[in-house]
């Protein structure tokens, strides 16, 4: 949800508040696009409304609509109405929030938005318990058709499903613990397992059954054909004699038929002649008849119309007509004509003029109409025989205008019809007069025709008799011929069937045994189908994110469990065999899918799963394969960072185009959710899906692929359940195959080309063979009836078999050729194996620093380069017999080239580590390194102090002896402790040697041990020399050149770059590569075209403009401090990806500088060229660099140049000194500060300025400005501030002006040279300084070098340990056995928690005895620690046995114990400690014994101050006792410290009257001189010395500040902590004044402090 979320909230509030409808708002955090939206939800939960959600006009509208309802309730004010609206919202709006607890998101949101807790009911959905899993699976499986799998199979499969889920949960925990990879097992995955099983089972069962049926049908057809052959041969022999008889009969009958046929032909000719004459007569009669009918056709329309008009008249119409008194003239005319036709006489009536009489037809007419049959008489009128007289009477009327139907109809409707009838009679008679002669002629013609036809009929009868006779003969002949043809057809059919049968048997006979075997295999597959499919469903559902080893382990577990339940499954389950198609798999290989089984399984999971795949693809293997696989479908490639990716996606969904979304991060865009969940719906009969705000038509052809380049992404369960996660990280086997192809292609290109062609041909041949076999089986299975009847089918089968045989021959030839090629290629396998091994070695570096990343293309290009370089210097041809020598040479060359390429990208502290890692991986690949020995080197021994006593405690440290005892348990070093015990003097010489790594081991051990085993001994006795020891080890194994990293070479690096390859400077504190870059740009003539910008707030747009210009016209762009612009990094990634050689100017280069940052684009790191340039190491290099920042003019511009030369030299030494002190760890600084050149530059300017402004040198002002402000401004620890001011006092002092002044008396080579020299003289002096700086020059003891070396060694070991997979070594003891043994041992030693109530009863709270309260508080703290230790140890042992689930907390405990580290679960409840696990447990037991002795025997007389959980409470209790006893304010009290050297802490002593005695402290950086009772210098190689008992005596007197050293006391040697409310570090305890005959400055520079506990 983003900006549109507010609109949705409005709609919901209006619906629930205005209409009062119940509304549920379900909101998941995956929909959250803007965190600010949670603020609205927070307000909604808290108040029922969101401030300013509605605009004023919207609020008025709500109030207006609700006013009538509120008026009835008595609410009239606008505020009250809106309040009532809010109340309705509260009552009707139900908010359901779905939040994931993974990561820090939920925790942060709960803190920011308290209503999420206060106003919500929290329902935490835990993982489903086994009984729930059982119920769900049982209910689901019962609805499936599984009866064929046997009885009780549903219950068994339910157990399998539950077991799969539980084992994956356990494996996920182990996966996280060992490989630090996150995976989640959720209920949706369990449902997916069941659904996958159902869908795959149904499809696979149908598929296997259909294929088996086709093979069975094919076999049946072959068997039936063989059986029919013998039958057909017998039939053929019986049919041949019958065929001969029928042929003779047919010949005889043919003669008779030919004779009779001639007679019939004569008769037929006569009949045909007479028939022609008859036809002519018939044609003439027909013409006459047609003429008559044509004439009649003229009169018939009028007649018919008249009759129709008569039909329309009714009786009433006639009555109406009769009833006319004075009819119109037209009516009267009509009736006259009717009377004429009917023959009615007129009546005589007087004439109108009175002169005589005239005829009148009206009255007769009326009488005529009175007749009831009047109308019928008209219908029946004999129209064909009207006399001429009547016609003549009617003729005058026809021309009268009044005598027309229209005119007559005006007077009477009835008269109109009668008029039409009369006129029709007249016209008809006229036509009949013409037709009558024709009728007479027609009658004559018809009589003549009848006579001719009679004669013709007689002739035809004669002909019929002849024909009938002939037909009888013909029928007999045809029957004979038919019988003959039938016999011939039967014979031919038999012969053809025999031929087809022979061809079919000979063609497919060879397939019979293979088809039989295949049918049997398919039958077994059907039996094993249930077990195989449930395992396959588990693989497809759960195992996508896992590596190959984990997959194999889980599959084996599932297979064993399935078989234990008597469910049949394949003896050796393979996903490829169960769900794979070999033809398709070969096609995948051609498309670029690695051939190893891991990658093939990934592809099968991808194709089988119903979810879209999200592929973890750091090397781009899946990306390449998908692009090739979908190339024919015009795949679209998008990134989530592209502005138009949604538009591209919509078009692809609409048109069914595949889409590859690459380079996604750990979060997916919420807009993809409908697509990932496949939320397709029907819209108007069309499948649609909603993307963003639009409904898009969904094409079923659409496919969606997602890839990420992140090597170890952490996808939340919300993401993981929407996709199928696939770990496409390249496997060693897959990479080895690819590299083998590369080396063979370069060394023997003809072989690799032939191999590539064979792969393509094999895939094509296999596909063709499969198609032909499918076609053959399909034809056989679909054939109906007798297969031998289908000639086309037999021909098709034969052609298919011929092609199949040809292809099989090609396949055999190809297999032989491929085998020969593979034999030759196999000789290069050692080279590919080594190179594959080294790639994973390089990949591990990303776990050390996120900037250490290289791409697969970069690696392969480097490999190709190494092959080319090696071939160029080689004299022997590739085909020579010195293969082993050449391959070793190639391996050595590539390993060294890789080392040098990688080293230029590494910080100095990691270069030796990489050399060691490289060496170890090579040895592991060659099986030359024992896993247990390697792990011992990294972790040391796990000892709980139960071994034999130290035989040489006077010189051999206890920790060294315990490590030797652990070393003694390794088979190769068994007896080492006995040797040390018996030959102590010889071993002491080795221990005391200045360079023990170069010395020989005594008593023959030097000859017996390999270099790595000697390194183990060195680790035990002299860990401070492990770094040079590792150098010797690396030199012995792979060569000295692997300890010689290349120097910084910006020019050489530039030559390897290109427009598409950014150059990245990885920054370290104090480094500034830009100056070197500018100088290089000037040398190349690019300074004028160089644009530089320091990234930060709002600088991204300017950087984009610079890059755009340089890409087009050339030039260099320098982007500094990329780590400060994390939000712009995705844009940088997009720019670099879009910049290709084709698009960019040839002179364009992009230079980047960045400190290590996880947000730096991975693509840039992998494809770019990385370099590191660190500030100079050592005083000499540092000071030399400082001198380059000034010139002679700097001195000339000063009024006191001689003083300035001295002081600036001192300042340079000071700057170098405080930087170099960092390497000594806590002895140098409590906190490692990042002093840099800017601090120095300001001090240099101030120094010149102050000397110019003041007559006297203002040493205090200069010291304050430098020590307190410029450098001191970075210092946060007060003890460090004290140290820096004391160091500065050696350089900003008047003594520095003396030529004989030395900065450190123990190091006379370091001083400020005489002032009469030039700047060049000063620089020459610096060049004469020693390369290695003695610790004394920093004011440190020589032992500081040992501390520094030990810290460096242990940091190296810890880093190497972090790179190891958390599994066992190569020894006999498994990790589980080792951890269980240690856990059991620790559990037996750790006591039950104390009963606090009993202790409080014995030591109640007393006013004058604060120690009782201290005791109870300490025991309470220890009880929490002891409880968590005991419970976790018990649970870890149960988890190892499989009795409880291995939770994430228990995994951490398991791994910590295995690595000899204190589990974080314990450390969180424990006191600060840096000890390894064994020493930590021993120390814990000592603490427990101390307090148990206190409980049993009362308050001790001597307090072991190191044993307290919270030491400050003990110190406060001591002061409080004194204050209460003497009535003194506690804040006025100080301690007076007295060292009681005469008291033996082990023997004890009576308690003092005031205060207390303490012991258990250690001095770091010096020792206690018991003879002189003052602090003294440390003994050689003795880093820590125990402090005698000290009397802490409370007093109100001021502490002495003369003759003492104010020594800080720390809990651990780390010294640093977080700043507490006291103003001190949480690691700090208190200051103790120790007697000293030297000034405090001496010990401050030494870094002297007291520690409560050591590290071992």
pLDDT, tens digit (0-9, with 9 covering 90-100), for 1135-1184: 888 888 888 899 999 999 999 998 898 888 888 899 987 777 788 888 88
Tokens encoding 458: 């007689």
Q: What percent of the chain has pLDDT over 90?
A: 31
Q: Comparing 590-604, 759-773, 996-1010, 1106-1120, which segment has the lowest mean pLDDT?
A: 759-773
Parallel/antiparallel/unpaired status of strands 680-683 and 1584-1586: unpaired
Residue 1501 makes CB contacts below 8 A (sequence gap 6+) with 1548, 1549, 1550, 1551, 1557
Most confident of 119-123, 399-403, 786-790, 1018-1022: 1018-1022
Residue 559 makes CB contacts below 8 A (sequence gap 6+) with 531, 535, 569, 573
Residue 1347, pLDDT > 70, answer: yes
1095: closest CA among 1160, 1168, 1045?
1160
- 């865009």: which residue's tokens? 669
- In this structure, what is the dihedral angle of CA atoms 353, 356, 357, 358, given to the nearest 10 degrees? -60
Residue 302, pLDDT > 80, answer: no
Model pLDDT, residue 571: 87
Model pLDDT, residue 879: 54
Tokens encoding 994: 């200045």
pTM of the model: 0.70
Tens digits of per-residue pLDDT, 835-859? 999 998 998 898 888 899 888 888 9
Q: Is 1580 exposed, middle or buried (0-12, 13-18, 19+ CB in 10 A)?
A: exposed
Residue 508, pLDDT > 90, answer: no
Categorize the per-residue pLDDT at 1205 as very low, low, confident or very high, splitting at 50, 70 and 90.
very high
Residue 627, pLDDT > 90, answer: yes
Model pLDDT, residue 1267: 92
Quick check: 588 and 734 in contact, CB under 8 A? no
Q: What is the mean pLDDT of residues 1480-1491?
A: 92
Categorize the per-residue pLDDT at 18 as very low, low, confident or very high, splitting at 50, 70 and 90.
confident
Helical H runs in 73-151? 78-92, 105-112, 115-118, 130-141
Residue 1508, pLDDT > 50, answer: yes
Categorize the per-residue pLDDT at 484 as very low, low, confident or very high, splitting at 50, 70 and 90.
low
Residue 187, pLDDT > 50, answer: yes
Categorize the per-residue pLDDT at 503 as very low, low, confident or very high, splitting at 50, 70 and 90.
low
Cα-based distances in Å from 1490 to 827, 1057, 1486, 1507? 67, 66, 6, 7
For 770-787, give the DSSP string: HHHHHHHHHHHHH--S-G
How many degrees, rounded to 5, is the angle at CA 622 between CA 618 and CA 628? Answer: 140
Tens digits of per-residue pLDDT, 901-959? 999 999 988 999 999 999 999 999 889 999 889 988 988 887 776 678 889 988 898 88
Residue 1422, pLDDT > 80, answer: yes
For 342-353, give the DSSP string: HTPPPEEEE-TT
Tens digits of per-residue pLDDT, 1214-1264? 999 998 898 888 999 999 888 888 889 999 999 999 999 998 999 999 999
Q: Hey, how many other C-beta atoms are within 10 angstroms of the C-beta on 371?
A: 12
Q: What is the mean pLDDT of residues 187-204?
A: 89
Q: Hey, how many other C-beta atoms are within 10 angstroms of the C-beta on 966?
A: 21
Residue 188 makes CB contacts below 8 A (sequence gap 6+) with 721
Q: What is the mean pLDDT of residues 233-251?
A: 66
Model pLDDT, residue 1115: 92
- 């119409």: which residue's tokens? 317
What are φ and ψ of residue 1652, in 5° steps? -80, -25
Quick check: 664 and 614 in contact, CB under 8 A? yes
Tens digits of per-residue pLDDT, 489-502? 666 666 666 666 66
Model pLDDT, residue 3: 47
1277: closest CA among 1311, 1310, 1228, 1331?
1228
Model pLDDT, residue 785: 60
Distance, in Å, from the CA atom of 1393 to the CA atom of 680, rounded to the nearest integer, reads 60
Residue 746, pLDDT > 50, answer: yes
Distance, in Å, from the CA atom of 727 to the CA atom of 550, rounded to the nearest integer, reads 12
For 1564-1595, give the DSSP string: ESSEEETTTTEEEPPPTT--EEE--EEEEEEE
Q: What is the mean pLDDT of residues 1328-1349?
A: 87
Tokens encoding 244: 């001969």
1224: closest CA among 1357, 1346, 1068, 1332?
1346
Quick check: 164 and 558 in contact, CB under 8 A? yes
Q: Hey, how many other C-beta atoms are within 10 angstroms of the C-beta on 1515?
A: 21
Partners of 1120 in beta bridges? 1094
The mean of the pLDDT values for the chain is 84
The half-sphere exposure of 1044 on its side-chain side, counting CA atoms within 13 A, is 7
- In this structure, what is the dihedral angle of CA atoms 301, 307, 309, 312, given to the nearest 10 degrees? -140
Quick check: 538 and 558 in contact, CB under 8 A? yes
Q: What is the mean pLDDT of residues 1474-1481?
A: 88
Q: Hey, how many other C-beta atoms are within 10 angstroms of the C-beta on 1435?
A: 19
Parallel/antiparallel/unpaired status of strands 686-691 and 694-697: antiparallel
Q: What is the mean pLDDT of residues 421-440?
A: 75
Model pLDDT, residue 363: 83
Tens digits of per-residue pLDDT, 986-1003? 999 999 898 899 999 998
Q: How many separate helices (H) and strands (E) can be counted in the chain?
A: 60, 28
Choice between 1148 and 1374, residue whose per-residue pLDDT is larger: 1148
Tokens encoding 449: 């025709």
Q: Comparing 811-815, 1059-1063, 1530-1534, which segment has the lowest mean pLDDT?
A: 811-815
Categorize the per-residue pLDDT at 158 as very low, low, confident or very high, splitting at 50, 70 and 90.
very high
Model pLDDT, residue 230: 61
> Which residues of 1030-1080 form beta strands (DSSP E)?
1063-1066
Model pLDDT, residue 243: 64
Distance, in Å, from the CA atom of 1266 to the CA atom of 1217, rounded to the nearest integer, reads 14
Tens digits of per-residue pLDDT, 1539-1586? 999 998 888 889 998 999 999 999 999 999 989 999 999 988 888 999
Cα-based distances in Å from 422 to 316, 705, 960? 21, 95, 150
């Amino acid at each position: 949800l983003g900006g549109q979320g507010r609109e949705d909230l409005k709609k919901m509030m209006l619906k629930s508040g205005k209409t009062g409808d119940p509304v549920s708002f379900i909101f998941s955090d995956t929909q959250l696009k803007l965190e600010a939206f949670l603020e609205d939800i927070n307000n909604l939960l808290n108040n029922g409304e969101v401030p300013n959600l509605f605009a004023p006009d919207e609020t008025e509208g709500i109030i207006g609509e609700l006013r009538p309802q509120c008026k009835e309730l008595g609410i009239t004010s606008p505020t009250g109405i809106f309040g009532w609206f809010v109340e309705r919202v509260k009552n009707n709006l139900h908010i359901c929030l779905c939040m994931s607890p993974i990561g820090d998101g939920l925790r942060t949101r709960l803190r920011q938005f308290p209503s999420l807790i206060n106003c919500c009911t929290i329902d935490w959905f835990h993982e489903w318990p086994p009984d729930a899993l059982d119920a769900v699976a049982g209910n689901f499986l019962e609805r499936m058709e599984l009866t064929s799998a046997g009885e009780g199979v549903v219950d068994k499969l339910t157990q399998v499903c539950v077991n799969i889920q539980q084992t994956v949960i356990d494996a996920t925990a182990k996966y996280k613990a060992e490989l630090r990879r996150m995976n989640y097992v959720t209920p949706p995955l369990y449902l997916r397992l069941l659904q996958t099983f159902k869908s795959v089972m149904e499809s696979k069962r149908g598929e296997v059954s259909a294929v088996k049926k086709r093979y069975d049908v094919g076999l049946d057809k072959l068997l039936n054909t063989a059986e029919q052959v013998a039958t057909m041969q017998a039939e053929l022999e019986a049919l041949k004699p019958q065929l001969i008889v029928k042929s003779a009969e047919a010949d005889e009958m043919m003669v008779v038929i030919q004779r009779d046929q001639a007679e019939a032909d004569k008769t037929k000719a006569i009949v045909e002649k007479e028939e022609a004459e008859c036809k002519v007569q018939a044609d003439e009669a027909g013409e006459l008849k047609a003429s008559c009918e044509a004439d009649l056709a003229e009169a018939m329309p009028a007649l018919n119309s008249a009759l129709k008009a008569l039909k329309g008249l009714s009786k009433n119409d006639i009555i109406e007509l009769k009833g006319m008194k004075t009819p119109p003239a037209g009516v009267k005319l009509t009736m006259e004509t009717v009377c004429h036709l009917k023959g009615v006489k007129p009546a005589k009536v007087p004439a109108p003029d009175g002169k005589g009489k005239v005829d009148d037809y009206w009255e007769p007419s009326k009488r005529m109409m009175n007749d009831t049959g009047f109308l019928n008489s008209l219908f029946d009128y004999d129209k064909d025989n009207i006399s001429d007289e009547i016609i003549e009477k009617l003729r005058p009327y026809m021309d009268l205008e009044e005598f027309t139907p229209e005119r007559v109809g005006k007077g009477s409707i009835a008269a109109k019809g009668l008029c039409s009838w009369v006129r029709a009679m007249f016209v008809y008679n006229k036509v009949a007069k013409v037709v009558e002669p024709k009728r007479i002629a027609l009658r004559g013609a018809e009589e003549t025709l009848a006579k001719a036809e009679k004669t013709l009929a007689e002739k035809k009868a004669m002909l019929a008799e002849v024909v009938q006779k002939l037909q009888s003969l013909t029928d007999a002949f045809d029957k004979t011929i038919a019988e003959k043809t039938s016999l011939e057809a039967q014979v031919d059919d038999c012969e053809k069937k025999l031929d087809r049968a022979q061809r079919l048997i000979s063609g497919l006979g060879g397939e019979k045994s293979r088809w039989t075997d295949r049918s049997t295999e398919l039958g077994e597959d059907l039996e094993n189908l249930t077990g195989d499919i449930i395992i396959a469903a588990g693989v497809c559902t759960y195992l996508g994110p896992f590596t190959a080893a984990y997959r194999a382990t889980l599959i084996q577990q599932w297979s064993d469990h399935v078989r234990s339940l008597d469910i049949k499954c394949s003896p050796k389950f393979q996903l490829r065999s169960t769900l794979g198609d070999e033809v398709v798999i070969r096609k995948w290989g051609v498309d670029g899918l690695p051939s190893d089984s891991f990658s093939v399984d990934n592809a099968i999971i991808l194709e089988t799963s119903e979810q879209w795949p999200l592929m973890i693809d750091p090397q781009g293997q899946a990306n390449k394969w998908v692009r090739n696989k979908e190339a024919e479908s015009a795949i679209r490639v998008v990134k989530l960072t592209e502005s138009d990716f949604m538009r591209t996606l919509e078009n692809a969904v609409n048109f069914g185009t595949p889409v590859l979304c690459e380079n996604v991060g750990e979060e997916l865009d919420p807009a993809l959710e409908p697509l990932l969940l496949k939320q397709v719906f029907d819209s108007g009969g069309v499948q649609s899906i909603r993307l963003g705000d639009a409904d898009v038509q969904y094409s079923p052809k659409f496919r969606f692929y997602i890839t990420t380049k992140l090597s170890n992404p952490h996808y939340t369960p919300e993401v993981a359940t929407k996709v199928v996660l696939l770990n496409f990280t390249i496997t060693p086997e897959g990479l080895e195959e690819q590299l083998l192809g590369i080396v063979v292609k370069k060394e023997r290109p003809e072989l690799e080309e032939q191999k590539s062609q064979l792969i393509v041909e094999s895939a094509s041949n296999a596909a063709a063979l499969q198609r032909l076999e499918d076609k053959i089986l399909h034809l056989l299975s679909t054939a109906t009836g007798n297969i031998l009847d289908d000639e086309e089918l037999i021909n098709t089968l034969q052609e298919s078999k011929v092609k199949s045989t040809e292809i099989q021959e090609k396949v055999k030839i190809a297999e032989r050729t491929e085998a020969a090629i593979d034999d030759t290629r196999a000789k290069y396998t050692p080279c590919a194996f080594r190179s594959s091994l080294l790639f994973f070695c390089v990949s591990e570096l990303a776990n050390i620093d996120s900037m250490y990343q290289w791409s697969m293309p970069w690696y392969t290009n480097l490999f190709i380069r190494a092959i080319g370089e090696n071939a160029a210097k080689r004299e022997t041809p590739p085909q020579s017999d010195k293969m082993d020598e050449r391959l070793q040479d190639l391996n050595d060359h590539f390993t060294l080239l890789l080392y040098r390429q990688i080293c230029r990208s590494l910080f100095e502290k990691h270069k030796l580590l990489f050399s060691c890692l490289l060496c170890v991986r090579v040895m592991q690949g060659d099986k030359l390194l024992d896993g247990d020995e390697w792990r011992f080197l990294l972790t040391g021994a796990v000892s709980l102090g139960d071994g034999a006593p130290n035989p040489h405690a006077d010189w051999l440290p206890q920790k060294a002896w315990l490590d030797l005892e652990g070393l003694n348990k390794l088979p190769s070093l068994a007896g080492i402790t006995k040797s040390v015990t018996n030959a102590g003097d010889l071993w002491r010489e080795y221990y005391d040697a200045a360079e023990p790594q170069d010395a020989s081991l005594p008593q023959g051990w030097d000859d017996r041990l390999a270099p790595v085993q000697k390194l183990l001994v060195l680790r035990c006795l002299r860990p401070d020399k492990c770094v040079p020891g590792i150098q010797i080890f690396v030199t012995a194994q792979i060569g000295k050149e692997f300890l010689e990293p290349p120097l910084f070479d910006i020019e050489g690096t530039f030559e390897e770059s290109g427009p598409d390859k950014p150059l990245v400077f990885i920054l370290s504190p104090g480094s500034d590569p830009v100056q070197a870059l500018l100088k290089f740009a000037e040398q190349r003539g690019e300074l004028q075209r160089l644009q530089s910008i320091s990234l930060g707030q709002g600088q991204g747009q300017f950087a984009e403009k610079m890059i755009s210009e340089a890409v087009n016209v050339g030039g260099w762009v320098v982007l500094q401090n990329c780590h400060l612009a994390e939000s712009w990094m995705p844009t940088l990634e997009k720019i670099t990806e879009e910049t290709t050689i084709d698009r960019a100017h040839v002179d364009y280069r992009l230079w980047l500088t960045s400190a290590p940052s996880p947000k730096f684009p991975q693509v840039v790191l992998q494809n770019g060229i990385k370099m590191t340039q660190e500030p100079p190491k050592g005083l000499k290099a540092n000071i030399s660099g400082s001198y380059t920042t000034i010139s002679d003019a700097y001195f000339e511009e000063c009024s006191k140049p001689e003083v300035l030369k001295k002081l600036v030299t001192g300042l340079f030494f000071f700057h170098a000194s405080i930087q170099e002190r960092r390497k000594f760890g806590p002895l140098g600084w409590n906190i490692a500060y990042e002093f840099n050149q800017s601090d120095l530059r300001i001090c240099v300017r101030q120094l010149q300025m102050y000397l110019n402004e003041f007559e006297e040198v203002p040493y205090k002002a200069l010291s304050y400005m430098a020590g307190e402000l410029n450098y001191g401004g970075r210092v946060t620890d007060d003890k460090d501030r004290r140290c820096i001011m004391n160091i500065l006092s050696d350089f900003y002092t008047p003594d520095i002006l003396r030529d004989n002044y030395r900065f450190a008396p123990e190091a006379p080579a370091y001083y400020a040279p005489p002032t009469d020299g030039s700047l060049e003289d000063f620089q020459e002096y610096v060049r004469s300084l020693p390369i290695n700086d003695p610790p004394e020059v920093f004011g440190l003891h020589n032992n500081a070098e040992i501390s520094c070396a030990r810290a460096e060694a242990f940091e190296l070991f810890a880093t190497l340990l972090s790179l190891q997979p958390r599994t066992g070594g190569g020894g006999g003891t498994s990790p589980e056995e080792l951890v269980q043994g240690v856990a059991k041992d620790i559990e037996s030693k750790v006591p039950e928690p104390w009963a606090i109530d009993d202790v409080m009863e014995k030591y109640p709270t007393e006013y004058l005895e604060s120690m009782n309260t201290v005791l109870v508080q300490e025991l309470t703290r220890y009880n929490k620690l002891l409880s968590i230790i005991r419970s976790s140890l018990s649970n870890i042992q149960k988890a190892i046995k499989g009795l409880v689930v291995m939770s994430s907390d228990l995994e951490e405990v398991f791994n910590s114990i295995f690595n000899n580290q204190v589990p974080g679960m314990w450390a969180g409840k424990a006191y600060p400690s840096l000890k390894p696990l064994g020493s930590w447990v021993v120390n814990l037991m000592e603490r427990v014994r101390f307090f148990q002795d206190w409980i049993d025997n009362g308050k001790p007389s001597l307090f072991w101050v190191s044993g307290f959980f919270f030491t400050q409470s003990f110190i406060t209790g001591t002061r409080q006792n004194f204050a209460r006893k003497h009535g003194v304010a506690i804040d006025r009290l100080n301690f007076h410290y007295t060292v009681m050297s005469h008291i033996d802490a082990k023997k004890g002593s009576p308690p003092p009257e005031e205060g207390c005695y303490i012991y258990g402290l250690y001095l770091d950086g010096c020792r206690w001189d018991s003879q002189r009772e003052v602090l003294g210098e440390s003994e050689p190689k003795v880093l820590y010395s125990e402090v005698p008992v000290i009397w802490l005596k409370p007093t109100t007197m001021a502490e002495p500040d003369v003759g003492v050293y104010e020594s800080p006391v720390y809990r651990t040697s780390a010294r640093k902590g977080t700043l507490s409310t006291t103003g001190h570090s949480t690691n700090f305890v208190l200051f103790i004044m120790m007697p000293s005959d030297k000034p405090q400055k001496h010990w401050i520079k030494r870094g002297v402090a007291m520690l409560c506990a050591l590290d071992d």
